[in-house]
Chain A
Amino acid sequence: MDLFLQQIVSGFATGGIYACMALSVVMIYQAIHHLNFAQGEMATFSTFIAWQLLAWGLPYFAVIPLAIGLSFIGGFVVERVVFKPIENAPVLSHIVIFIALFAIFNSAMGFIWDFSIKPVPSAFGEGPLYEGSLLSKHQTGMIAVTMLVLVLLWAFFRFTRVGLAMRAAAANPQSARLVGIRVSFMTALGWGMASAIGAVAGILIAPVVFLEPNMMLSILLYGFAGAVLGGLTSPLGAVIGGFIVGIVENLAGTYIPVVGGELKLPIALFLIVVVLVVKPEGLLGRRVVQRV
């Protein structure tokens, strides 16, 4: 029973990372109705920036806003430079561009920071939260930050003019343009925010898995699984989905002997396929009806 509880709790903690990743996936999906396959590499890149700043001796409280801000600008610029020119191209072109970005970021990271793994200290300190606690300080921090990001996002979309404009631009680009919203600017803003959230996820997970250029590949897959499970149109769903994926992954790793500790990726594949087949709109998503 103790083991079971322990696994659920630590699944919940890793779930926080997947939830962050899923959130950034959903952000992009909301903005352009695409899944950004380079999201993980972009997040890893942000994490490397944070690591570099730390290595230069900046304190954590300065590094985090700086890394997140730079990531925001980076995402914004990538959209403006790479994606804007082919906005209206067929889906295949978009997917190819994502794959191209993936290759560029991955290779650039290997080039700049090489492929050796790097330990990253936790921003929340080491050790358990209190004596005998199931959660470590870092795990508690991860969950808290995920929740904070979700609340901030919700507030942003609910209470700010820009948030409203972004929702409008995503829901109905033509009408939004007619009421004076700069739709393509909103798309770029969505990219920036997604990449900032990705940076948060990267910085949170780096102390757990060690930093290297391929760090995020599997995490992105879990993020996708979480986003699909929760519904690609719903940020709250993405967070719930992320937590569920984390818990399922941990329990399966512990209790299904075939899976074992290391081979958990097929679970994400399985989850994605099952959800897409059985309930493509996810737990909380809206069903997208296409008019013909």
Chain B
Amino acid sequence: MATSETYAAGAAAAPKPFITAERVVYLLLFVGLVALPFFSKGFFVFQVTKLLIYAIAILGLNLLTGINGQFSLGHGAFYAVGAYTTAIMVEMMGVNYMLTLPVAGLICFVFGFLFGLPALRLDGIYLALATFALAIAMPQLLKLSPIEHLTGGVQGVIVFSETFDPDVPFGLPFDPGTWTYLFTLFVGVFLFWLARNIVASRTGRAMMAIRDNPIAARSMGVNVALYKTLAFGLSALFTGIAGALSAIAVKFVAPDSFTFALSIVLLVGLVVGGVGWLPGALIGATFIVFVPNFAEEISKGLSGAFFGFFLILVIYLAPQGAGGLLRAGVGRVKRLLASR
């Protein structure tokens, strides 16, 4: 894949100045996101909460596809598992919703790791097939009768039934919507930081080596099987936490919220944001949250077709997504400045 240069620069570990353009951009973005709920309306805040949740899920998918070079058309399934874990723990066991996040992540990690084991033997297209099957079967798996007392079958689980909102800790003066947003934001920032560090670590380098040339990686002593399953598990963990957050934000889980369409949406976000470029998750998520509204306005009922055409356009014109365009733009500006 042509994205190898994205993180190659980080691996060279040259001493950098403390204040870089990149850090300034991140800081501004963070301040802007924290300030957002104090300047906008409830529904918009909810939409941006959803955006952040999708961004986390796409981040997880990006770890798998962008960093490790494996495909998944079934990340909606891990999202569902995370959402259900949180819903069940909060509703049936009375656990504090914040404590359910690590559990949801852990369960998804194990689930992803286990699904990754057979996936080890599957290359490219076969892996896509297996995860495709997982995504399509997931709504029915959730309806299976032996687990119906937990999952609520077709009806699903209503979290924090009506009167109950996620409580704001320490008596902070926020309304529940704002708090959910800020909570999601902090979890998201933490996970993004975590993902960056994983990618920059030994583990991340091993994963990228497998993506770029599995045979060379193996002969360099990289345990291909271990790192591939690990990538699957980690990716599921991120996506699972996103699912858990969605259960908190939407307060409702049902099998039909986790159809194949969800997996498609995540894939769209990944491709639009840029495969292999972690901050692209935010751009991809913005696309999948706001563009459908926009597309509905142009023509009702054709938003799926619009999505499809846009995907094809991205593949033709900007195969590296927004990340690729951004890098090309920055490179051009730099060259312009240098030539003066």
Contacts and interface: CB of A to CB of B under 8 A. Distances in A.
Nearest to A38: B308
A86 B1 contact: no
Interface residues of B, number: 48
Contact of B305 (A111, A260, A268): A111
Contact of A104 (B271, B299, B305, B314): B305
A207 to B, nearest CB: 23
Contacts of A58: none
Interface string B9-21: 0000000000000
A217 B118 CA distance: 24
A164 to B, nearest CB: 26
Interface in A75-125: 82, 85-86, 89-93, 95-97, 99-104, 106-108, 110-111
B309 interface: yes
A91 B71 CA distance: 9
Nearest to B268: A99
Given A100-B311, A107-B303, A108-B302, A224 B129 contact: yes
A37 interface: yes
Nearest to A277: B118
B251 interface: no
Interface in B222-258: none
Interface in B68-104: 71, 73
Nearest to B260: A217
A268 B133 contact: yes
Nearest to B215: A292
Contacts of A102: 264, 308
Main secondary structure of the interface of B (DSSP, over half): helix
B129 A35 contact: yes
A221 B137 contact: yes
Interface residues of A, number: 48
Nearest to B315: A93
A218 B305 contact: no
A272 interface: yes
A273 B304 contact: no
A280 interface: yes
A290 to B, nearest CB: 9
A101 B305 CA distance: 8
B118 A276 contact: yes
Interface string B116-147: 00100110111011101110110011011110
B316 A85 contact: yes
A263 B153 CA distance: 12
A90 B305 contact: no
A34 interface: yes
A100 B137 contact: no
Interface in B268-319: 268, 271, 275, 299, 301-309, 311-312, 314-316, 319
26 contacts: A33-B125, A90-B1, A91-B125, A96-B314, A96-B315, A97-B312, A99-B264, A100-B311, A100-B315, A101-B308, A103-B305, A104-B304, A104-B308, A106-B304, A107-B303, A107-B307, A108-B305, A110-B301, A217-B136, A221-B136, A257-B145, A269-B134, A269-B141, A276-B130, A277-B118, A280-B126
List the 6 closest A-B pairs by CB distance, nearest first: A107-B304, A104-B308, A103-B308, A100-B311, A269-B137, A100-B308
Interface of A: 33-35, 37, 82, 85-86, 89-93, 95-97, 99-104, 106-108, 110-111, 217-218, 221, 224-225, 228, 257-258, 260, 262-266, 268-269, 272-273, 276-277, 280, 292
Interface of B: 1-2, 65, 71, 73, 118, 121-122, 124-126, 128-130, 132-134, 136-137, 140-141, 143-146, 215, 260, 264, 267-268, 271, 275, 299, 301-309, 311-312, 314-316, 319
